Amino acid sequence: MDMTSIITLVVAAFLLMYAVTIYNNLVALKHSVSKHFSNIDVLLKQRHDELPKLVETCRQYMQYEQQTLENVIEARSMVAKAQARRDVKALGEAETSLRAGLGNLFALAENYPELKADKSFQHLQQRISALENGIADRRESYNEAANNNNVRIEQFPDVLIARFMNFEAFDLLEFSEEELKDVDMKALFR
Q: Which residue has the higher pLDDT, 60 or 10?
A: 10
* pLDDT in the model for residue 178: 53
Task: Write down the domain spans for the chain.
Answer: 3-188
Q: What percent of the chain has pLDDT over 90?
A: 59
Task: Let me know the angle formed at the C-alpha of 140 by 137 and 142, rounded to the nearest 5 degrees.
Answer: 110
* pLDDT in the model for residue 187: 47
The string of pLDDT tens digits covering residues 63-72 is 778 888 888 9
**Residue 10: pLDDT above 70?**
yes
Report d(CA 13, CA 17) in Å as an integer. Answer: 6
Q: Tell me the whole-structure pTM to 2 decimals.
A: 0.77
Count of alpha carbons within 13 angstroms of residue 110, beta-carbon side: 11
Report d(CA 183, CA 169) in Å as an integer. Answer: 33
Kindly state the average pLDDT of the residues 97-109: 89
**Residue 184: pLDDT above 60?**
no
Q: Given its phi and psi angles, is residue 166 left (phi above 0), alpha (psi -120 to 50 degrees) or beta?
A: left
* pLDDT in the model for residue 182: 47
Q: Which fold has domain 3-188?
A: de novo design (two linked rop proteins) (1.20.1440)
